[in-house]
Every structure is written in structure tokens, then in C-alpha cells.
Structure 1
Amino acid sequence: PARSSAPRNLHYTTMTQYEKSFGVPFVLPKEHPNHILANVMAQENWRNLRVAETEKYAHVTYFFNGGNEQAYGGEEREMVASPKVATYDLKPEMSAEGVTGVVTRAIGKGGFDVIVMNFANADMVGHSGQIEPTVRAVETVDACLGEIWKTLRDHNFAWLITADHGNAEMMIDPMTRGPHTYHTTNPVPLILVDDSGCKLRASGALRDLAPTVLGVLGVEKPREMTGIDLRMLAP
């Protein structure tokens, strides 16, 4: 907006193209990934449900689909409204209970091959830098996971629990000793819950998640996926 007042002897280059109208050169062109997990789910004609509250709805739809807003074949969506508060430390439970209800009802009803869901609490409340509300946020997610497990154990489902970054595990900045309000690069958990008793490799990366999901579902990963199935299968 203030480009007219910017120094004229500076050269602007962005890492990626944020907006075409800016007219500045960029380093990395936008990629359109092929054969991501959402593509494979559609190709396999898997009926799948995407569930999140408002704050994370795009993560299980638009972002999960590789930056594509349009739903793939077999995809159904349900968004639970996030609470209307100024900041989520005022309501650390957010809408986790509503998300849990949608998921447990879907499991009980049956008919879905895959359910993709997201709990927003640990991230959104973690951004506040407030320790006690963040503790309540994590406790809420823990309780909701327990409710989902009670439903899952009576059905033939495998369950993978993970995250794409940390936040709530670090609430005090180790350098400033003040509130820590942003994402971390700490390792995140990957938990597999099923009847196989299969263990997961101790090391892995986010690129391994989709191959692991496909392995659990008995489908070979596309060649475009560079990760591996993290399950330690018996020879």
C-alpha cells in the first residue's frame, strides 16, 4: 500500500508470488502437486468426511486438497462454528465438543472410509501466550480424544493422531523468558491406534504421513510421494 513512498534504489524480490498485481519478481513459482492424499482418496472412491471448526476448516478442505477449494468426489464436509470471542484464551474449549460430536456420530452411523478432522484448541489458544487457558485447551482435546476412542473401539477403524507443528508445548520463550506465542519446530507425535499391534519408526517427517495412511488402507503410494510408510511391518 505504501509502495509509492518506498526508496527507489531498492530491488524487491519475494520468496513466492503473493499477489500478481504487486509486479515484483519471486524466487519460487507456485507448485500444483499431483497425486496428493486427497487425489488418491478420490481415485479410490473412498467416501470421506472432513470435520473442523471455523478456525481450522480450511486446513481439512482447501489445504488438504492441495490449495483446491473444490471438493473431490466422495468428499463430504462439516464445519462447526467457532465461538464468538475476542481471543480464544477466553474460551479455551472452543468448539472441540461439537467437532467430537460430529465425528462420533459419523463413526457410529458408518459408511465413511476415511474421516479427516482437526482440533484447533492447542494452536489457537497457544497463540495467546496464556498458560492456564492453554492447559485447559489441551485438557479439552485430551477429553475429546477419549470420547472418540470410546466410539472407535467398537468399530473396525484405524486411527492416526498427529500435528504439523508445535505451539502449546512451549509457553515461555527460552530467550526472553516472556510469553511464547508462535509455532515451534519441535518434533510432533504420530500415534497409530488399531488392532494390528504394529509399531511406528521412531523418526519420520510430515512427508511420511500420507504414505502411512495409504499403507494402513492397503493402497500403494503414488510415485510422487517421496515419504515412506512408517509402520514397522513384520517380514
Structure 2
Amino acid sequence: LWREYPHTTLAASGEAVGLPPGQMGNSEVGHLTIGSGRILFQDLMRVNEAVRDGTLSENPALLGAFERARARGGDVHLLGLVSTGGVHSHIGHLRALLELSRRLGMEERTWIHVFTDGRDVSPTSAVRDLTQLPAERIATVVGRYYAMDRDRRWDRTERALAAIVAGEGQRANDPIGAVQASYDAGLTDEFVEPVVLSGRPRLTRKDTAIFFNFRPDRGRQLSQKLVAAGFDLTTMTSYGEELVVPVAFGEQRVANTLAETLAAAGARQLHVAETEKYAHVTYFFNGGVEQEWEGERRILVPSPRDVPSYDHKPEMSAREVAAGFAAEIGNGYRFAVLNFANPDMVGHTGSIPAVVAAVEVTDECLGVVVGATQAAGGVCLVTADHGNAEQMLEADGVSPHTAHTTNPVPLVLTAAGRTLQPGGTLADLAPTALALLGLRSPGEMTGRNLAESADPKASIR
């Protein structure tokens, strides 16, 4: 495709997607930017600004959580990913909450439940990050593999929950020592088994919990379990309409997204992914809207559940995703969005042989998708929402690189007689797709059409 069709690269990180300069992109931000056709002020930036200008300490939802705990004679428990990655959370936000607890006189009644990262940062960065926190306030340490599952592997979620509310897990006196012991056992940060620190309290129903992840998708399962069990929970952002809890930073309405514009034009649209990326081609792509638009059809292919991590099955469900798309695309759709999860999900494992296999399968399945689209009379915009699999080693050339990157992503247009303009961003994809369909971009879209044609009236009908 790169050899035969017009191609360019797109900025997919930092300010180009509404993040701080130099901040790597991620799937949530990428799909939101692609689907909205504009650069949005992302949740990381919203919380950063609240910390910077002091309004975090005035946030009604956060103050309410502390006051309810105080009124009941309970404690405040801070749950979330302790990481500098800025993908799901940021350690700076946790430190700001600890400072808030100090100002409110709740410092000695505030506890931290640490979820270790190892995917969006170095696999062994937790021992460094934990030095930034008061060790005596840490109640549990749990790898994100357990605490932040999003694929309905409820057994993992239950293990994290049991550590937090029942004190079930490996016992330790020192959080850093517990993580180091995990390394010695061959388990890096992502896979740290639940650890309960001796002498620390568990979460009870007179307490309040604050889940400080700003990205919702990997906070939902544990939050649902906590609320269902009757615990008082506040979340940093909205984790979904079905979770009715106080929210510190409410949703921003994104009007006239690509999906909404297509629906208004009466154009049928198809959204396809396996479980790991299904929320991204639906909820995030549609601007944070859960429900389907008129004329929108969704295909969910289950991700594999019979492996502990995807380096054991690098093909994931890509072939089923491609087959489902190919069987459906000829049924009168004007637009489709499809995500292959493999390069990202397998890239996070740090296994080079597995990533090679994942990319080979993705390439094979991309051929199926492009062929089916062309047979239906359409063209493809082939791109990525962020980098990952293209860099598998750290700068030392030895250590595995498991995080996203700030590299530009490729864009290929499978249409003859057109050129793609350079200097684009993910925000330009929606206006480009609408132009190819002969539809006008709504005024809210600030991106531009990158696909120029020798015939300015040409469109893909």
C-alpha cells in the first residue's frame, strides 16, 4: 500500500492531540481526535490545569468525598495507577490529592492503593515512582493486570478488590520491597500480584474512595464492583453513564462528530473491533457518546480470553475482525471504521518475536479489509492512532520498550488520482473522510481535508 498509493504521516502526540508537549498519544485520545475532527483539551490537561491554578482543591466532588468520610468518622482511600505515563493517570495528580488531604486535616486518615503500571512506562519504574509517595500511607500494591482489566476478566478484578476491601493478598511491610520481590520472582510492574501492607486499614463502608485515573476504560470494572458492594466512590472523570457516582471533572460535550455528521446526512456507517478496542471505535470515536446513531451498525468480536497476555496469542482476533468486516461492508454502508488491536496490545508485552507475528497477521488482515472495501466500490484511509510497535527497545538497545511513542503515524489513501498533503494531524482525518464522501465538514471541525484531487468535484459516492 505504501508503495502504490498516496501516503504521508500524521502527528499523533502532544499538542497535536490536545496533550502536553512531548506527551505520547494513546488510544482514547487518538480515537477521540479522529472522530471529532478537532483538537480537544484532553482530561490530562484539564486536571493538570486544575492542579496548577489551585482549583483542584476547590473541586466540589473531591471536597465532598473528604467531608463525607470525616462526617462518618472514616478514612479516604485513593485508588489508581501510580505512573508518570500520563495515559490513564499521572502521579502528580495523586500528589495533589495528598496535599489536599493535608490542607483538610485528613492526612493521617488518607490511604493509597497503588496500581503499578509497566505498560505505559518502563516495566520496572514502580520502585522509582514509589519513592515520591509516603510509604506509611500505602495500603496495597496491585499490578494493573488485576486492578485495571477491561475485558471482563472478572477473576482479575476480584483479586484486586479482595486486597482493597478484605485485606487478602501477599503480606509485606515495605511497598518498595514488595515490588522488588515481585521483580525477583520474574513479575514486572504490570503483573505484580496483590500485596497488602501490614498494619494498614482496608476500605470500609464508612470510608470514601477516590479513583484518580482520568481515563475511564480501565477503571470501570473495579468501580462497578465497589459501587455494587455499597462503597462510597468518587471518580476523577465519568467512567460511564451506568456508574452513578460523584465525578470531579464532568464530560465535555463534543458536538457534530464524524459519526453524528454521517447520521445527519442519512449515511449508514459500520464500526468494527475486537473487545480490547471496541470502546475506542464506538464511545471514544463518537465523542464520548454511548448510544448508536441512526444508521450505525456495530460489530464486536471477542478478544482471546485463554491466554494471560497477548504475546502468547499475537494474532488475537484480527482474522475474525477482518472476516466480519468483509462479510458486512457490501451491505450499503457509506463509511466504516475498524481497529486492529494487535500492534498496540502485543507491543505492550515487549516481546519482539510476538510483535513481529502480530504485525504480520495485521498486514494479512489489512489486505482482506482493503480488498473487501475496494470490491464494494470504496477507498481506505489506513492509519494509526499512536505509535508503539515500531519501537521495541529502549535507548540502551537492550531493555524492552513497552510504552507508546511520540512518533508520527502513517496515512495511506487507497485512491488513484489524489495526493495527500503533508503536515497533518489525526484531527484532519474526519474532514478528509467527509470530503471523500462529498459531504461538508461541520463548523466545529477544525481539521482540514488532506486529500486533494485533480478534479475538485470528485468524491467517493
Whether TM exceeds 0.5 here: the answer is yes
Task: For 1:34 and 1:153, locate their aligned partners in 2 and report how far apart those are by CA, in whole Å.
Answer: 31
- Specify the code of the residue in structure 1 equivalent to 2:447: G
- In the alignment, structure 2 segments of 5+ residues that lack a partner are 1-75, 79-96, 105-211, 215-234, 239-244, 457-461
Task: For 1:6 and 1:170, locate their aligned partners in 2 and report how far apart those are by CA, in whole Å.
Answer: 35
Output aligned runs, 1:119-130, within 5 Å: 119-130=340-351
1:178 to 396, 399, 402: 399
1:105 to 327, 332, 341: 327
The alignment covers a number of residue pairs equal to 227
User: Corresponding residue for 2:429?
Assistant: 209
Output aligned runs, 1:8-87, within 5 Å: 8-9=101-102, 18-19=236-237, 30-84=251-305, 85-87=307-309
Q: What is the aligned-residue RMSD (CA, Å)?
A: 2.5
User: Corresponding residue for 1:197?
Assistant: 417
Please give the TM-score of this superposition, normalised by the length of structure 2: 0.46
Q: How big is each residue's C-alpha offset from its partner over 1:28-74, in whole Å with a ceiling of 9 and x where there is no partner? A: x6421111111101101111111100100101111111111111110
1:114 to 335, 345, 364: 335
Structure 1 stretch displaced more, 53-62 or 177-186: 177-186
Task: For 1:19 and 1:100, locate their aligned partners in 2 and report how far apart those are by CA, in whole Å.
Answer: 33
Task: Please state how far the C-alpha of 1:202 moved relative to its aligned partner.
Answer: 2.0
Q: 4+ residue stretches of structure 1 with deviation over 3 A?
A: 5-11, 14-17, 19-24
Q: How big is each residue's C-alpha offset from its partner over 1:185-227, in whole Å with a ceiling of 9 and x where there is no partner? A: 1000111112x42010122001111100101011111111111
Contact conserved, 2:273 with 2:339, CA < 8 A, in 1? yes
Question: Identity over aligned residues, as a percent?
Answer: 46
Mapped pair 1:146 → 2:367: yes
Task: For 1:6 and 1:210, locate their aligned partners in 2 and report how far apart those are by CA, in whole Å.
Answer: 41
3-state DSSP of counterpart to 2:412: strand
User: Corresponding residue for 2:443?
Assistant: 223
Task: For 1:74 and 1:155, locate their aligned partners in 2 and report how far apart those are by CA, in whole Å.
Answer: 18
Contact conserved, 2:417 with 2:453, CA < 8 A, in 1? no
Task: For 2:402 and 2:448, locate their aligned partners in 1 and report how far apart those are by CA, in whole Å.
Answer: 32
3-state DSSP of counterpart to 1:2: strand
3-state DSSP of counterpart to 2:273: strand
Mapped pair 1:2 → 2:220: no
- In the alignment, structure 1 segments of 5+ residues that lack a partner are none
Q: How big is each residue's C-alpha offset from its partner over 1:85-135, in whole Å with a ceiling of 9 and x where there is no partner? A: 21000000000000000111113x431111111100000000001000001
Task: For 1:214 and 1:140, locate their aligned partners in 2 and report how far apart those are by CA, in whole Å.
Answer: 30
3-state DSSP of counterpart to 1:50: strand
Task: For 1:6 and 1:209, locate their aligned partners in 2 and report how far apart those are by CA, in whole Å.
Answer: 41
Task: For 1:99 and 1:57, locate their aligned partners in 2 and report how far apart those are by CA, in whole Å.
Answer: 11
Q: Which has the higher contact order (CA 8 A, sep 6+)?
A: 2
Task: For 1:50 and 1:154, locate their aligned partners in 2 and report how far apart those are by CA, in whole Å.
Answer: 18
2:311 to 85, 89, 111: 89
Task: Please state how far the C-alpha of 1:23 moved relative to its aligned partner.
Answer: 7.8
Structure 2 CA distance for partners of 1:201 and 1:218, relative to 1, 3 Å: same
Task: From the two aligned structures, give the one with the greater helix fraction.
Answer: 2
3-state DSSP of counterpart to 1:83: coil
Task: Please state how far the C-alpha of 1:18 moved relative to its aligned partner.
Answer: 1.4
- Specify the code of the residue in structure 1 equivalent to 2:392: M
- Specify the code of the residue in structure 2 equivalent to 1:92: P
